Amino acid sequence: MTLRLPAFEKALRRRVRAEVRKSRVLRRQARRARRRWWLNPAWLAFGYGAFLIGALVTKIAPAGHEFAARMAVVCLWFLGTLATNSAALAATLGDGARNWCLQLLPLRDAEVFRIQWRQHVRSSSWWLLFYAPFAVSLVAPRITDWRLLLAGVGFLLLQALCARAIVVHLAAWGLTGRVGAFGFCFPLAIGLGFLAASRYGAGLGDLYAALNWVPVFGWLNQIFLHAVVGGSALAWLWLIPVLLLFGALPVSWRRLRDGYVLAEPVFRPTAQQGDEADGSGEPVVVEDESDVPVDSKVGEASVRSREFLRGEAWWTAGWYERMAGRLLSARQRLLAEFLLMAAPNWSAGHRRGLRRWGLVMLFVAGFGAHGAWVLMPALLFTLDLVVPFAGGNWPGLQFARAGDFETTPWALQPVGHREIEVTLRKLNLLRFLTGLPLLAGLALVAGWRCPQFTPAQAMLGLVRLSGIVLACLPLFGLLQLSSATDDSLQVRWRRLPGLLVFILMVIGFGIGAFLASTWVVVLACLAVLAVISWWLAWSQARAWSRGRFDMVKRG
Amino acid sequence: MRLVCTPVAANPETKVRIELRTVSKSYGRTRALDRVSCEIEPGQLVAVLGANGAGKSTLLRCLSTVIGADKGTILCDGQPLRRDRLDLRRRMLFLPDFPLVYGGYSVIRHLGMLFRVYEAETTGVEDRAVAVLRDLDLLPLANRPVATLSRGQAYKAALAGLLTLDPEVWLLDEPFASGMDPHGIQAFRDHATEAVRRGRTILYTTQILDVVERFADRVMVLHEGELRAWDTMAQLREQGRGETDPLEHIFRQLRSESV
C-alpha cells in the first residue's frame, strides 16, 4: 500500500497553481508562504568538513605513508556510516512521532514497515551525496588516470552501500542500536589525531593494523587496491563477500519485515545524563496507577506539607551526589534537578561504568602485548565514561512537542544561559575528575602490557589529555546547550567559514598539545585552546541573550 | 459557576506594562510578524485573533523569548525584554497549547519545580496551590504522574502552575482548545477575570469569536503578520455599526481581502 497518489497530487498541484495565478491576492499570499529551497548549513559544514578532512589526510601524512593514512580514514569513515545508518534505521522503525501518525491510519504493520522503510531509504540516501567530496578529496590526489579515480570513488560509494546492507543484517537480528553518538565527528577527529601522531613518528603501522581489525571492511580496502592498482586477478575475489552481503539482503529484509511490530506510543521518560542511561531503550513504566492515592484529602495533605518545594536528597543519595551537592550552590543544585527532571542518581551509573571498565582493563591486559591497536577501543570506551562526548542526555535540554512546535523545558522557564552553563561545567568537571582514576588505570595497564609504551610515557599522555579536556570544558557545556537551540542552523553564511576555522583550530591545538615535544609548546597550545573554548562559549551566551537564535527545533 | 476558593494573589502590588515596537519575525522568507507595534497596559485581558498562520503564536513566543524577534523591541516596564533579563522573565509565564510538563513528574512535583525555578516559594504558597488544584478538580490526581493523565488533565496541571504562580503577565496559546472540560474552562475564566482585576495582564490566542466577545478587554487582530486591529470590544462594535457580530465582520473583511 502506498500513502501517495502521484497522479492525483500532480493534477491537484496544477489546479492549485492555476487558481493562485488567477488572483493577485493569492499570488501575494503564495509569495509570502513560499519556502525557498535552502541548504541546511549543518549539512554544508559536513560537506566542507568531509572535503577538508580528506584533503588534510593526504597533506599531513608522512612521506611514504600517505596511502596507509588514507586507508585509515576510510575505515573510520566506514564505521561512521555504519553507526549513523544504524541510528537512523532505529529512529525510523522505532517509537517516533511519525509512527504515531501511522497508528491512526487503517494499516497493517507490514504496510507501515514498507512505508517506513521507503522513508529510511530516501532520507539516508542523501548522505551518499555528501560523501562525494570526501571521496574525491581522498582519492583524487596523485591519481593521474581518471579510470583509477572513478574506481576509487566508486569503491568508497560501494562501501557506503555495504555499510547500509550490514545495518539491515544487524537490524534483522535485533542489533539496531543507539550508536549514533559514534557517528562522524568522533571517529574522524580521533582518526585525525592518530594521523597527526604518525607525523611525529608514532606507529602508524599499529594504527593501520588496528583500524583493519575494528571495521569489517578494513581488510577489503587492501584487497581492492591490490586488484585495481596492483592488477592482481586473484584480488578481484573481494567481490565475492560483497555479492554475498547484498545477496543475503532479501533474507534479512524479510526477517526484519516479518518481525516488525508498530510500537505503541508508550510514555518514554528520557534517560538521565550519559552514564546514567541504562541503555536498554525500553519504555519505563512510570508508576502503577493503583499505587497512587485517588483522594482529595491525601492530595491536599501532600501539598500542605510543603514537601514539593524541597529539593532532592543530595546528601543521602550516594557518594557522587554528595560530592556534586558540595560543588554546586543551592541554585545550581536546583538547575541540575531541572535538567535531570528527576532525582540525581549518578552513583549507580558510576558503579555500572566501573564494572564495564574492569572488563576493558582485562581486555587490555590480555591483548596489550599484541599491539597498540588494543588501546584504541579501550581508550574510546573509557573516554566515553569520563567526557560528555555525546553532549549528555539532559531531559531539561531535550526537545519535546509543545503544540505545533518543538522546544525544550529550558526555553519556557526563566533560566539563564550563564547559570546553566556554569552548572554543566561543574558537573562535567566532576565527571572528569571522578573518571580520572579510570584513565590513570588504563594508562598504567597500557604502559605495563603494551611494548610501545612505558608506564611513564602513558602517564605523560594522560597528563596532556587531562589538560586538553580541562581546557575544553566550556566547549562541552556549549555543545550541550547548543543541542537545545537552533543556533547551528541560524549561523549566518558569512560567519560559517570563521566558525569552521575555529573548530579546526580547536582540533589542531588539541593535537598540538598532545604531541608537542616541549612543555612550553604544550602549555601554549593549552592556553590557546582554553581561550578559544571560553570565547566560543561566551559568544554563544551573548547570541542567546540577544535572541540571535531560537529555542525551537527547526528541521 | 463560582470558584470554590479564590486564591490569594502572590504579588498583588506589581504590574507590568508591555510595549511592542515594530516587532518583526521571519521564518525563512515567510514573514510571521510584520512591524507589530502596540502598548499593553497592566490589567488588560487581550485576545489575539487571526486566521491560521497569521502570527498569533509567534507573537506569544516572541513575548516569552522562546524565539527572538528579528527586528524591533519588546519593552517590559520600559526595559528591553531580553533572554538574560531573568528578573523580567520571571514576571511572565507562557503556556503553549500543548504544555511541556515532564511526564514522570506528579502534578505536585511539577508545581514544586515551577515555584523553585521562579524562586517563588513564599509562605502561603501551599494554600494557593490547594485552592487552584481544588478549582481545577486536580486534588485527587495531585500525586499522579502527568503521563498518566488525559490531555485535558495534563493541561490543567500546567495551568495550575500558572494560576498558582500568578505572574504579572500570562501568555496562553489557545487555552480554550486545550481539552479542558467546561468546569476547567470556567475556573480558568474566573481566575483570569480576578487576576485582571488585580492588574495582571493576560494575552491569549483563540479562534472562538464567541469567547472573545465576552472575555476580552482588548482585541488584537493579526493578518499575515500585520497588526490590523487593536481596539477594545466597544470600539470594535462601534466600527462595525449595524453588524450584529463585529468580530465576524472583521474576519469577513480580511477574508475578502485574501480571496
Q: Please name which of A242, A210, A206 lies closest in space to residue A223, comparing C-alpha atoms.
A: A242
Which amino acid does the sequence have at A150? L
* Count of all residues that appear for chain B in the document: 259
10 Å Cβ neighbour count for A130? 16
Alpha helices in chain B (DSSP H): 56-63, 86-89, 107-117, 125-135, 151-165, 182-197, 209-214, 233-239, 246-258
Closest CA to B16 of B118, B169, B192: B169
Neighboring chain A residues of B57 at a CB cutoff of 8 Å: 403-405
Residue B26 bridge partners (DSSP): B31
B111 to chain A: nearest residue by CA? A308
- Three-state SS at B72: strand
Interface A:B, Cβ pairs < 8 A = 176
Question: Is the pLDDT at A276 greater than 50, yes or no?
Answer: no
pLDDT one-digit tens code per residue, A239-272: 787 888 889 989 998 998 888 887 765 444 333 3
User: Quick check: A493 contacting B, CB < 8 Å?
Assistant: no
Half-sphere exposure of A434 (CA within 13 A, CB side): 23
Q: Which of B64, B89, B143 sits opposite A302 (nearest CB)?
A: B143
Q: Which of A182-196, A276-290, A496-510, B195-209 has the highest mean pLDDT?
A: B195-209
In percent, how much of chain A has pLDDT > 90? 20
Beta-carbon neighbour count of residue A229 at 10 Å? 14
> What gap in Å lies between CA A502 and CA A495, rounded to an integer?
11
CA end-to-end distance (rounded Å), chain B: 42
pLDDT value for A140 = 67
Residue A248 φ/ψ, nearest 5 degrees = -80, -5
If contacts are CB pairs under 8 Å, which of residues 32-51 in chain A contact chain B?
Answer: 32-36, 38
- Helix B182-197 vs helix B125-135: angle between axes, to the nearest 10 degrees? 140
Picking from B215, B95, B189, B200, the residue whose alpha carbon sits closest to that of residue B135 is B189
Strand-strand pairing, B169-172 and B45-50? unpaired
Task: Please list every residue in chain A whose beta carbon sits closer than 8 Å to the beta carbon of residue B179.
Answer: none
pLDDT of residue B21: 95
* A92-110 pLDDT, tens digit each: 887 666 677 777 788 888 8
Q: Going residue by residue through chain B (259 aa), what tens digit of pLDDT does each one get?
A: 444 444 444 555 678 899 999 999 988 778 889 999 999 999 999 999 998 888 999 999 999 999 999 999 999 999 999 999 999 999 999 999 888 888 888 899 999 999 999 988 887 888 999 999 999 999 998 888 888 888 899 999 999 999 999 999 999 999 999 889 999 999 999 999 999 999 999 999 999 988 998 899 999 999 889 999 899 888 888 877 667 777 888 877 777 776 5
User: Is A413 close to B57, i.e. CB distance below 8 A?
Assistant: no
Chain A residues whose CB is inside 8 A of the B89 CB are 414
- Whether chain B has a CB inside 8 Å of the CB on A355: the answer is no
d(CA A27, CA A424): 49
* Chain A: closest CA distance from residue B199 (Å): 22
Give me the pLDDT at residue A272, please: 36
- How does the average pLDDT of chain A come out, rounded? 77
Tell me the nearest-neighbour CA distance from B239 into chain A, angstroms. 25
Instruction: Find residues 384-413 of chain A whose CB sits inside 8 Å of chain B.
Output: 395, 400-405, 407-409, 411-413
Q: Which of B68, B98, B112 sits opposite A401 (nearest CB)?
A: B98
> What ipTM was predicted for this assembly?
0.89
Nearest to A32 among B109, B113, B224 (CB): B224
Query: Which amino acid would we find at residue B134?
Result: R
